[in-house]
Amino acid sequence: MPMLDAYIPEGALAPDAERRLLAELTSILLKWEGADPDDAVARSIAWVFLHRPAAILVGGEPAELPRYRIVASVPEGQLDAERRAGMVAAVTEAVLDAEPDDRSRDPRRVWVFPQEIQEGTWGSGGQIVRLADIAGFVLGDREAGERHAAKRLARAVSAP
């Protein structure tokens, strides 16, 4: 399940808008990863880390308008090219929708970095957790988790 690092400058968004955005980003990432965004178990392991950059420079100068950096980390096999593209588009739109209406709507101010964490390198609870373990936990069925992981990882290995 996703780990999200959201870099949002202090004051870029109204507090309520920012809270709604962070919840929405969680739902977006779960959806594009293939999980049910309304599933309480899936949401329990979808964490968001909010970062407040001290400064954002563009071309060596302070940015006139806020810039956003969203890093979505998911287990290997969860994002094919279509899912990556859909997630990037949805995250970008959600960030721009959270901004005040009077701000220029420029998608180039939102950078989204989906990254897959190599199988066998996701750590939680002091141990390595495989995609099958995570999927089994969310599905409530270890064998279904194994089948899900085998299918997703086979597709990841065969992708160009």
Domains plus CATH for the chain? 3-120 (3.30.429.10)
Three-state DSSP at 115 gives strand
CA angle (94 as vertex; 58, 88 as ends), nearest 5 = 70
User: Can you list the positions of beta strands (E) in 8-95?
Assistant: 47-51, 57-58, 61-62, 68-75
131-139 helix and 142-158 helix, angle to the nearest 10 degrees: 140
Contact call for residues 75 and 156 (beta carbons, < 8 A): no
Return d(Cα 115, Cα 34) in angstroms, integer: 15
Contact call for residues 50 and 3 (beta carbons, < 8 A): no
160 residues of the chain, pLDDT tens digit each = 679 999 999 999 999 999 999 999 999 999 999 899 999 999 999 999 999 999 999 999 999 999 999 999 999 989 999 999 999 999 999 999 999 999 999 999 999 999 999 999 999 999 999 998 988 899 899 998 899 888 888 877 655 5
**Six token digits for residue 25:** 């980003």
